[in-house]
Chains A and B, each alone.
Chain A
Amino acid sequence: MSDVWIVVIVVGAATALFKAAGPVFLGRRRLPTRIDAVVVLIAPVMLTALVVSQTFGGDEEIAVDARVPGVAAAGVAIWRGAPIVPAMAIAAIVTALIRLVA
């Protein structure tokens, strides 16, 4: 079997198990309140970490490049109530323009 197929199958199987972990193995049982207080923080925490790694992530380095002003401009728009697609467009346009000029 080729390397590519090994990666495809192992990653696919592992991801399916991760996604099924709660609904299949935990079922309808509720989590204790203290655990729940941790779980509600998963969304803000993971989404923020994704923003940071998408904005500054490089090849094992922090890269401050044309993405930063793009994401910052989108951030201002989002905080003023802009919906998702215009926010994404602002980030893409600002970043692409800077790359074009640079």
Chain B
Amino acid sequence: MAAVSGSAPRVRDGVRAALPLVPGPVLFGLTFGVLAQAAGMSVAATVVMSGTTFAGSAQFAAVSVLEDGGTVVAAILSAILLNARYAGMSVAVASVFPGSRVRRFFESQLIVDESWALSGRSGRFEWPILVGAGLLLYVLWVPSTALGMILGEGLGDPNDLGLDAAFAALFLALARPYLRGRRALEAAALAAGITLVLLPFAPAGVPLILAAVACLLGLRR
């Protein structure tokens, strides 16, 4: 990673750090576009959603609820619950954002799972890594979702290609550097247990939110 030599990382180091992830947002974006088209969304609605929400899992949750004939409220709640984790994640990186309130607002929109995870890999959060990685992911994500809509059914069923398993592997690879030390391993194991227990009962997104309780293990001396 950057900054090992002692020189401060730059935004372009963040872009570089995110390069290995490029297939992720592109394939995930194409997949989302296909789903959005199946749910009857317009290209405009899809692009606006990708540009403002910019969080694949929540977008997927909301649109799949709509496609399954769920209510507007259910679609909104599942996405909001999934994205509530960003409140905790943004608090974690709050102190590294420079500049005015307006600038911090716009740059904070680049917080996504991948950019956030990459920016903390050196042991403390680095703003240039988060912004560089977030920018690259953003410029790939938004057009990919639009392209997915246009390609539509021609793409076939994305799960035939094993994309759902690939996303689990992506999150696992991102988790790997954090799974060091007894406390982190215990908290991760507890989170996995909570998620597994809740998956059969709770609506989409709720297991993720409640798994966050495992972070409270940090309060132990």
Q: Which of A's residues lie within 8 Å of B, judged by CB?
A: 3-8, 10-16, 18-24, 26-31, 34, 37-58, 60-62, 66-67, 70-71, 74-75, 78-79, 82-85, 87-97, 99-100
Contact = CB atoms under 8 A, between A and B. Distances in A.
B199 interface: yes
Contacts of B66: 3-4, 7
Shortest Cβ-Cβ A-B pairs, 10 listed: A22-B94, A12-B52, A95-B162, A22-B90, A70-B165, A92-B162, A91-B169, A47-B175, A74-B169, A96-B162
Contacts of A8: 45, 48-49, 52-53
Contact of A19 (B90, B120, B194): B90
Contacts of B161: 92, 96
Interface string B56-88: 011100100010000010011001100111111
Nearest to B161: A96
Contacts of B160: 96, 99-100
B199 A18 contact: no
A11 B80 contact: yes
Contact of B101 (A16, A24, A39, A82): A24
B215 A67 contact: no
A84 B171 CA distance: 9
Given A20-B108, A34-B219, A60 B201 contact: yes
A50 B171 contact: yes
B6 interface: no
Interface residues of B, number: 98
A48 B89 CA distance: 15
21 contacts: A4-B41, A8-B48, A11-B79, A12-B52, A19-B90, A22-B108, A27-B97, A42-B88, A43-B175, A44-B179, A44-B188, A46-B88, A47-B172, A52-B196, A60-B199, A61-B199, A62-B200, A71-B169, A78-B173, A79-B176, A90-B169
A39 B120 CA distance: 12
A53 B94 contact: no
Interface of B: 20-21, 23-24, 39-42, 45, 48-49, 52-55, 57-59, 62, 66, 72, 75-76, 79-80, 83-95, 97, 101, 104-105, 107-109, 111, 113, 116-117, 120, 159-176, 178-179, 183-185, 187-192, 194-196, 199-204, 207-208, 211-212, 214-219
